Amino acid sequence: MKKGMFEKLKKSLEEAVAIESGKMAPARVTTRKRKKFNPRIYGELLLDVLPRPIQTEAENERALAVVDRLMSKGEDNLTPEETTLLELLVQLIERFEKKAYPIPEAPGYRVLRTLMENRGVKQADLLPIFGSRGIASEVYNGKRAISKAQAKKLGEFFGISPAVFI
């Protein structure tokens, strides 16, 4: 055994016993995170995952599982290569889900109705915006379009972009 090695081992053992018995707190272990992207390591990750454009629900589920595994590590614990792989998989998943599960655009009155229901807003609360109960009712029921001026006021009222009402 090299000179001094025995002392280091003895000290390590004593510290382990002290930590185990509660007489000493464990030291915080910090590792320096490598910040430089390594193409070889990234290539190995790509070989493991083999990402490609997602065509089926099974492929989507597989990609989601890899994303879930990476995210469970915590954003600060990912290597640059894992972060790049995560970004790639998220883009592929989003692209597939946008095609597979399109979200139809909702007419302004439906957006208004949903916001009102979710936030407990009554038609009477919107009288300053619409000016009368009749107009508020017509807009709420989709019988009258929301004007640009009303959309602007609704956007301010709900704290969202007026564009969702037009």
The 10s digit of each residue's pLDDT in 47-99 is 999 999 999 999 999 999 999 999 999 989 999 999 999 999 999 999 999 99
Average pLDDT (38-51) is 96
Residue among 78, 79, 91 nearest 41 (CA):
79
- pLDDT value at residue 66: 97
- pLDDT value at residue 105: 84
For the cut 70, the answer to whether the pLDDT of residue 11 exceeds it is no
Size of the chain in residues:
166
For the cut 80, the answer to whether the pLDDT of residue 33 exceeds it is no
Q: What's the CA gap between 144 and 138, in Å, rounded?
A: 5
- pLDDT value at residue 77: 94
pTM over 0.85: no
The vertex-67 CA angle with 30 and 105, nearest 5°, equals: 130
- CB-CB neighbours of 101 under 10 Å: 7
Q: What's the CA gap between 96 and 103, in Å, rounded?
A: 13
Residue among 88, 89, 42, 81 nearest 61 (CA):
89
- pLDDT value at residue 30: 44
For the cut 60, the answer to whether the pLDDT of residue 18 exceeds it is yes
Q: Any idea which residue has 């883009």 for tokens? A: 91
Q: What's the CA gap between 20 and 154, in Å, rounded?
A: 62
